[in-house]
């Protein structure tokens, strides 16, 4: 089994609890309470800022030109289409005021700051991989998405062939660099922490 498969298998209980979370069920049903969705998206806007910085670290520390360009391309989408979604969604929900990070968000910001400052490509990849793969997983449920763009666009940002190819690239990169000396342990620790934080992040939307 590839290193990424091992990590996912080792975190399966928490991973599955996140992917099967009440928030995801309600997202697919188009029935998330507006206050819950506003809380989630306002916190995720804080997440997104540091996520862009983390993608920048992957651009800076990639050890080969081809993955560097692929990450840079994705960074452009996050800073473009995804950021646009946040502006639309938060203004529709009337949630444009600045917010303080909740504990799960703070945990994520710290994890991303640590990975970025480590300047260790493998550790950066491990956090990116969880954030994107776990989102691909919940967003790839079969069945129709709600028609309301508030829901549909958020789902569409995390599914489809292009997003799946991006996750695949992160997996291949993580598997490629894991055998480097000392990489496995720090990648496993970052991956495991990120999965825990994904679950806590969904919980936190319900206050
Ligand atoms: C908390 C969280 N994890 C992952 C993603 C997708 O990268 C996101 N937008 N927010």
* pLDDT value of residue 124: 98
What is the tens place of the pLDDT at every residue in 73-98? 999 999 999 999 999 999 999 999 98
Q: Is 153 exposed, middle or buried (0-12, 13-18, 19+ CB in 10 A)?
A: middle
What is the tens place of the pLDDT at every residue in 159-207? 999 999 999 999 999 999 999 999 999 999 999 999 999 999 999 999 8
In this structure, the dihedral spanned by the alpha carbons of residues 140, 142, 143 and 149, taken in order and rounded to 10 degrees, is 0
Mean pLDDT for 143-165 is: 97
Ligand 1 pocket residue status of 132, Cβ below 6 Å: yes
Tell me the C-alpha distance between 75 and 60, whole Å: 12
Mutate which of 77, 107, 201 for ligand 1 pocket (most atoms within 8 A of beta carbon): 201
Ligand 1 pocket residue status of 85, Cβ below 6 Å: no
Helix (H) / strand (E) containing 17: helix 12-19
Domains with residue ranges and CATH for the chain: 3-204 (1.20.910.10)
**Ligand 1 mean position to 99 CA, how many Å?**
17
**Buried b / exposed e across 24-56, counting CB within 10 Å, b at 16+?**
bebbbeeebeeeebbbbbbbbbbbbebbeebbb
What is the tens place of the pLDDT at every residue in 27-72? 999 999 999 999 999 999 999 999 999 999 999 999 999 999 999 9
Mean pLDDT for 16-26 is: 98
Mean pLDDT for 105-133 is: 98
pLDDT beyond 90 at 143: no
Ligand 1 pocket residue status of 135, Cβ below 6 Å: yes
Ligand 1 pocket residue status of 137, Cβ below 6 Å: no
The structure tokens listed for 76 are 């452009």
Ligand 1 pocket residue status of 202, Cβ below 6 Å: no
Q: Please report the ipTM that was assigned to this predicted complex.
A: 0.98
| pTM (two decimals) | 0.98
* pLDDT value of residue 207: 84
Ligand 1 pocket residue status of 131, Cβ below 6 Å: yes
Average pLDDT, the chain: 97
What atom of ligand 1 comes closest to residue 105's alpha carbon? 1
Q: Are 194 and 130 in contact (CB under 8 A)?
A: yes
For helices 161-177 and 3-10, give the axis angle rounded to 10 degrees.
100
Phi, psi of 177 (to 5 degrees): -90, -15
């Amino acid at each position: 089994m590839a290193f990424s498969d091992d990590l996912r298998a080792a975190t399966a209980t928490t991973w599955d609890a996140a992917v099967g979370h009440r928030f995801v069920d309600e997202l697919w049903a188009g029935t998330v309470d507006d206050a819950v969705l506003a809380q989630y998206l306002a916190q995720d806007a804080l997440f997104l800022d540091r996520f862009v910085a983390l993608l920048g670290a992957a651009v800076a520390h990639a050890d080969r030109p081809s993955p560097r360009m692929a990450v840079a391309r994705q960074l452009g989408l996050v800073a473009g289409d995804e950021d646009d979604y946040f502006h639309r969604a938060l203004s529709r929900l009337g949630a444009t005021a600045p917010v303080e990070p909740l504990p799960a968000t703070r945990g994520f910001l710290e994890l991303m700051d640590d990975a970025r400052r480590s300047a260790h490509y493998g550790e950066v990849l491990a956090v990116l991989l969880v954030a994107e793969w776990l989102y691909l997983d919940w967003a790839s449920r079969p069945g129709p998405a709600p028609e309301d763009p508030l829901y549909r666009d958020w789902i569409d940002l995390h599914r489809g062939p292009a997003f799946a190819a991006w996750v695949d690239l992160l997996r291949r990169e993580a598997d490629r660099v894991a055998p480097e000396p000392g990489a496995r342990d720090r990648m496993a620790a970052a991956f495991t922490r990120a999965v825990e934080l994904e679950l806590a992040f969904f919980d936190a939307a319900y206050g």
